Amino acid sequence: MYSMILKRLGIGAITVVAVSVIIFLGTKVLPGDAAQIRLGQSATPEAVAALRAELGLDLPIYQQYLQWFGNFITGNLGQSLSNPDVQITSLIADRYENTLIVSVLTAIIGVPISLALGVMAAMFPGSIYDRILTFTSVTLVAAPEFFTATLMVLIFVFALGIGNAVVVGSTEGKDLFQLIAHFALPIATLCFVIASQLIRMSRAAVLNVMSSPYIEMAILKGVPRKRIILRHALFNAIGPIVNVVALNLAYLVTGVIVIEIYFGYQGLASLIVQGVQTRDFVLIQGLGMIFCGTYVVLMLAADIAAIVSNPRLRHPK
């Protein structure tokens, strides 16, 4: 088991390095020069050359990458190109709280409810409840985030007069219930988005285990279906369920750009959009690596949880 975990950690480290190369080279091929962008179009060639030397942009590409990646490992993300006096870490510190709050609250609310609905659908396969839930989840998968958000605004804001279409105000000093009320519509929208995947995958994982021989033996012995699922099948389906949960949690941190822009609250996803608009390559690189690191950590946690929960992986023949 320990060798498998170490192998997963090594794969995660290789993934981070590979993505860092892609992000670095991808920003380098974009049009525009970082020194020229910082100084403006009226800067003299001598001033641009001096700033390029100060920033290390006159070095060979591999030396630039090693210097940048080394700074990232030590937590130094550099200075913003659009705001030369501002550190990237300061920009992120002003935005990460909203993204973290919305992601955590969505996970706390949406993940348990979705898993419970998926397991209940597996308890009654082919029933009216199962068909309605499957139809709803497939519909939500087909609906893009902005469409779901628009429906939420039309129903709650315009029809019922509940909530606001734009999330404004500070979160400082708010308790848990006040935070949920503050981000109610973004959280509800994201809950519907992740529920569409979690319900279907948890149902499929449990039903796949239900076809195992030991489950069929338990059915023949007259063990109630509810007990079979909750006591036996569910634990053996944890592996694929945990992987799906990790993917959705990674999406909550890295894929909420549409939701943040739609509801107008300031988070990391909207910050990277701002970096693209202002050609702030350093900001794009830093946020890209943060998103990559978050994804890799969550997937490593899911793999390790799957290994620990599966006796066949813990004790291979």
3-state secondary structure 244-301: HHHHHHHHHHHCCHHHHHHHCCCCHHHHHHHHHHCCCHHHHHHHHHHHHHHHHHHHHH
Is the model's pLDDT at 180 over the cut of 70?
yes
Of the pLDDT bands very low, low, confident and very high (cuts 50, 70, 90), residue 62 is confident
Which of 305, 197, 202, 203 shows the shortest CA–CA distance to 247? 197
Looking at residue 316, its pLDDT comes to 56
Residue 127 has pLDDT above 80, yes or no: yes
Q: Is the pLDDT of residue 315 over 80?
A: no
CA proximity to 19, closest of 285, 303, 299: 285
Q: How far apart are CA 40 and CA 128, in angstroms?
A: 64
- Domain range summary for the chain, segments of one domain joined by +: 88-314
pLDDT confidence bin for 32, thresholds 50/70/90:
low
8 A C-beta contact, residue 48 and residue 36: yes
For residue 313, give Cα distances in angstroms to 13, 35, 303, 307: 22, 52, 11, 6
Query: Which residues have CB under 8 Å from 62's CB, separation 6+?
Result: none
DSSP-H helix ranges across the chain? 2-28, 34-39, 45-55, 61-73, 88-123, 128-142, 145-152, 176-182, 184-210, 213-220, 225-228, 234-236, 238-254, 257-263, 268-277, 281-309, 311-314
45 pLDDT more than 60 = yes
Q: Which two tokens stand for residue 55?
A: 């920033």
Cα–Cα distance for residue pair 166/57, rounded to 1 Å: 41
pLDDT at 313: 61
211-267 pLDDT per residue, tens: 788 888 888 888 887 888 877 777 777 777 887 888 788 777 766 777 888 887 778
What are 184's two structure tokens?
Answer: 């109610």
Integer Cα distance of 87 and 83 in angstroms? 8
Please tell me the predicted confidence (pLDDT) of residue 272.
82
What's the whole-number average pLDDT of the chain? 80
Higher confidence at residue 223 or residue 1?
223
- CA 254 vs CA 11, 83, 199: distances in Å: 20, 24, 21
Distance, in Å, from the CA atom of 259 to the CA atom of 163, rounded to the nearest integer, reads: 16
Residue range 179-190: average pLDDT?
84
User: Which pLDDT does position 291 carry in this prediction?
Assistant: 84
Cβ–Cβ < 8 Å for 113, 197: no
CA distance 278 to 212: 56
12 versus 278: the higher-pLDDT residue is 12
- Specify the range with the lowest mean pLDDT, choosing from 36-40, 133-137, 309-313: 309-313
Q: How long a stretch of residues is the chain?
A: 317
Q: What CA–CA distance (Å, rounded) separates 180 from 188?
A: 10
Token digits for 104?
A: 């955590």
The 8 Å CB, 24+ separation contacts for 66-72 are 68/24, 68/285, 69/17, 69/20, 69/24, 72/20, 72/285, 72/286, 72/289
Residue 169: its pLDDT value, please? 65
* Mean pLDDT of all residues in 173-188: 81
Share of the chain above pLDDT 70, in %: 91
Looking at 3.90.25.10, 1.10.3720.10, 2.40.100.10, 1.20.1070.10, the CATH number of the domain 88-314 comes to 1.10.3720.10
